[in-house]
Amino acid sequence: MKIQLVNKNIEDIKTDVLVEFLTSDELSEHEKFKTLSQAGFKAEQDSICFLHESGFLACGVESKKSDNIRSAAASMIKALKESNYESVKLGVISKRTVSALVEGIILGGYEFNDYKSKPKKIKLTEISLAINALNFEEIESLFNESIIIANATCYTRDIVNTAPQELNPETFALLAKKLANTNELECNILDEDELKEENMNAMLAVGRASIHKSKLIHLTYKPANPKKIISLVGKGLTYDSGGLSLKAAASMVTMKMDKAGACAVLGMIKAASELKLDVEIHAFIGAVENMIGGNAYKPDDVLVSRSGTTIEVRNTDAEGRLVLADVLSYAQDTVKADTMFDFATLTGACVVALGPFTTGVMGHSHKLKHDISKSASESGELTGSLPFNKHLKTFLKSEIADISNTSSKPYGGAITAGMFLDEFIHKDMKNKWLHFDIAGSAYTETPWDCNVYGGTGAGVRMICEYLKNI
């Protein structure tokens, strides 16, 4: 499906269907929309009315703000894909809504059909966005940026949605190498022997019962004159059974999504390299599979992490933080970054705290959290800040090791997980680091906004917006 920006009046573009976004006020004010009213169309947000005899599709919006346009565009593209029309045109409402239109169309129209024996054929082949303006070049630049970011988000979704028998730590490393070759990135893969040399015992413990060997992946994008150096760290549990603290059967379904943090990090560096941003990006991924077996790590084990901090294991299903502890340590010693972000489907507690649509953000720097919140809002993603609390830290106390991998109390689980990671952040990086818990936002079984069933690509649009503003 081709999306193009056309520097013409919309009347001069010939297509099968014309689309308009309408508010309830516009519907009542114009006589030409009388047929829509007679059809029962009220222009409610995301509602549609198709007048096939005149080739006209009306999409309801509460207002012409970007968030509403993005969501309505997603509803629009779903309706058009169900039709037999081949081409459609719509007008760009404003400069601010260009990205929303593109994302609504690409992300709302996304499908993952790799495992369908007979995927449905879509007849729609061309979407024309009309704009007859003097600042066409500026809008065209925004349009092209939006295409890159939306495609990187879909790339992330594809990896999240890939079945665990196909994507394991070893094939994840091959995928990263392929991206590195395509986008001219530097790539370094540490295998288990090298992980042992780095004393990454916490990460190795999580993956040792799997037949697939754990990998640490380091991709680098280096522009000529970078303004900043950013490290992005992703949790890459290609499948999480819970280990010996075995998950319930129903909870194991969708656990292919436990690699979503790592997938998002790949999407971010992909987009940054294609946007040619003046920011040096380092992507670190701990690719591990948490399985059961005679050699599985156990509750009551004490692990010596890469940093030397000893960890009492109280639950083997709190494995992501063990992997990240070592990867964060390695990332900080390998790259002296101006800022470091980690992304992980870390806790169900975050979903309880913020709901299934919102990414939890934790860290010490109020300014950094404010900047991220602004970027998230501008990109259409949702974030909520969860505050660190010195009293919650006592829940991680261990009587036999330096720290426990789970809280001793069933409260504030998302925050205590973030505070566990904080133990592995160097003192000089405390105000340069943020933790993103995407447990709720990374995957959905109920479509919402421009997100369809499966991986959402959470974090990619938000971080791209942040990087663009550096």
pLDDT digit string (tens) for 179-229? 999 999 999 999 999 999 999 999 999 999 999 999 999 999 999 999 999
Q: Is position 336 annotated as part of the catalytic site?
A: no
Q: What is the pLDDT of residue 216?
A: 98
Amino acid at 432: K
Which residue is catalytic, options 70, 321, 432, 461? Answer: 321
pLDDT at position 96, please? 87
| pLDDT (0 to 100) of residue 30 | 79
The per-residue pLDDT for 32 is 75
Out of 222, 228, 247, 314, which one is annotated catalytic?
Answer: 247
Give residue 239's pLDDT.
98
Which pLDDT score, from 0 to 100, does residue 219 have? 98
What is the fold of 163-468? Aminopeptidase (3.40.630)
Over residues 341-358, the mean pLDDT reads 98
pLDDT above 80 for 66: yes
Q: Which two tokens stand for residue 275?
A: 């946007």
Give the distance from CA 324 to its chain's centroid: 17
pLDDT of residue 135: 87
| Residue range 357-395, pLDDT digits in tens | 999 999 999 999 999 999 999 999 999 999 999 999 999
Residue 363 and residue 435 in contact, taking contact as beta carbons nearer than 8 Å: yes
Per DSSP, the three-state class of 312 is: strand
- 247 noted as active-site residue: yes
CB-based contacts of 465, cutoff 8 Å, min separation 6: 375, 376, 378, 379
Q: For 255-310, how does the pLDDT look when each residue is reduced to its tens digit (9 = 90+)?
A: 999 999 999 999 999 999 999 999 999 999 999 999 999 999 999 999 999 999 99
**Under a CB-based contact definition with an 8 Å cutoff, are residues 69 and 100 in contact?**
yes
Using alpha carbons, select from 42, 40, 45, 46 the residue that is nearest to residue 62: 45
The C-alpha atoms of residue 318 and residue 421 are separated, in whole angstroms, by: 12
Residue 31: the pLDDT is 76
Q: What is the pLDDT of residues 125-176, one digit of tens each?
A: 999 999 988 789 999 999 999 999 999 999 999 999 999 999 999 999 999 9
How many residues does the structure list for the chain? Answer: 470
Whether residue 369 contacts residue 385, with contact meaning beta carbons closer than 8 Å, is answered with yes
Mean pLDDT, residues 34-40: 89
pLDDT (0 to 100) of residue 34: 86
Summary mean pLDDT of the chain: 97
Average pLDDT of the residues in 88-112: 95
The burial of 54, by beta-carbon neighbours within 10 Å (0-12 exposed, 13-18 middle, 19 or more buried), is given as: exposed
Output the pLDDT for position 132.
Answer: 84
SS3 sequence, 24-89?
HHHHHHCHHHHHHHHCCCCCCCCCEEEEHHHCEEEEECCCCCHHHHHHHHHHHHHHHHCCCCCEEE
- Domain regions of the chain by residue span: 2-133, 163-468
What kind of fold does domain 2-133 have according to CATH? Leucine Aminopeptidase, subunit E; domain 1 (3.40.220)
Dist CA 328 CA 311 (whole Å): 15
